[in-house]
Amino acid sequence: MLLRALTESFHDGLEAFSLFGGQAGKFLPAVNWGIRWEGIEQWDLWGGVIKKASIEHRYTSKYTENTLITDNGRNTQNQKVQIGFQPLIGLTMSFDEKQLDGILTATIKYSTTTDYQLNSSNRATISKGSTQELQIQAGYVMKGFEWNFLGLSLKNEVEASFMASYQSNDRATYDIINTQSNGKDGRILDGSSKIIIEPRIRYNMSNRVTAAFFVRYEGTFTEGAAQPGFNSTQVGLDIRISIAGGR
């Protein structure tokens, strides 16, 4: 009876993710929604620089249960609830090509997900995992500009991109019996933070000379884990020259 009460309270205590509570809520659809708002480029605060912009918001939830049914009855072995905003807020923009002499696009997204899990092997503890992520991407392309060199009219093209992301992961537990040992966010076990920064630039001259350069930094920093974090930096340069001719 105690195990059955714990199983039911785990689901019902997090029923905010479901349209229906009780046993029926385990089999009926959970709450999920997505919102996309376009046309915000018409707001005056952009000053006419942005050609097109939109805001995105999406919420997802999922309940999973593993149950073993035998002659002795029904035994719930594992329960898991996943809820998340992917993204909580996302902004996509494309700027006026005429004002910037090229095509500039940018995307910013912030997402957060949380999962709670209850295992039959440890009925007195609920584990929690949470992830927060911020992503920034931008790209710029300028085509068709010309300059003269030794009497030749050379057509040029430049592409530049920038990508940055920050991800934070935390694991915690909640003691069901000894609730005084739980903090606001449970008892933190460990966590990690991951940072990636990568700018790139590519130059193309009359389809004869192509040069590309990039720098990528990646770092992982741990908290309370047995293995320490690490970081690395990569630098790359690629130059290609095409020569054609004959008699």
Q: Would you write out the chain's pLDDT as a tens digit for each of its 247 residues?
A: 666 777 777 777 765 555 555 555 566 667 789 999 998 888 887 777 888 999 999 998 888 888 888 887 777 778 888 889 999 999 999 998 888 888 999 999 999 999 988 876 666 778 889 999 999 999 999 877 666 655 556 678 889 999 999 999 998 888 776 766 676 667 778 889 999 999 999 988 766 788 999 999 999 988 765 677 889 999 999 988 877 655 5
Is 114:129 a contact under the CB 8 Å cutoff?
yes
Q: Is residue 174 part of a domain?
A: yes
For residue 72, the model assigns a pLDDT of 76
SS3 185: coil
In a domain, 121, yes or no: yes
> How far is it between the farthest Cα atoms of the chain?
94
pLDDT at 235: 96
Closest CA to 219 of 197, 200, 191: 197
Query: Is residue 12 in a domain?
Result: no
Nearest-angstrom CA–CA distance, 236 and 247:
37
Q: Which domain holds residue 208?
A: 33-241
The answer to whether 113 and 130 have CB atoms below 8 angstroms apart is yes
3-class DSSP state of 42: helix
Q: Is 207 helix (H, G, I), strand (E, B) or coil?
A: coil
Domain assignment present for 237:
yes
Domain count, the chain: 1
Q: Is residue 74 part of a domain?
A: yes
Please tell me the distance from the alpha carbon of residue 139 to that of residue 3, in angstroms, as a whole number.
55
The structure's pTM equals: 0.78
Pair 139, 104: CB distance under 8 Å? yes
The pLDDT assigned to 28 comes to 67
Handedness of CA 13, 57, 200, 47 (dihedral sign): negative
What was the pLDDT predicted at 120? Answer: 67
CB 155 within 8 A of CB 142: no
Do the domain assignments include residue 184?
yes
Residue 164 domain-assigned (yes or no): yes
Q: Would residue 7 count as lying in a domain?
A: no
In this predicted structure, what is the pLDDT of residue 133? Answer: 96
pLDDT, residue 139, reads 95
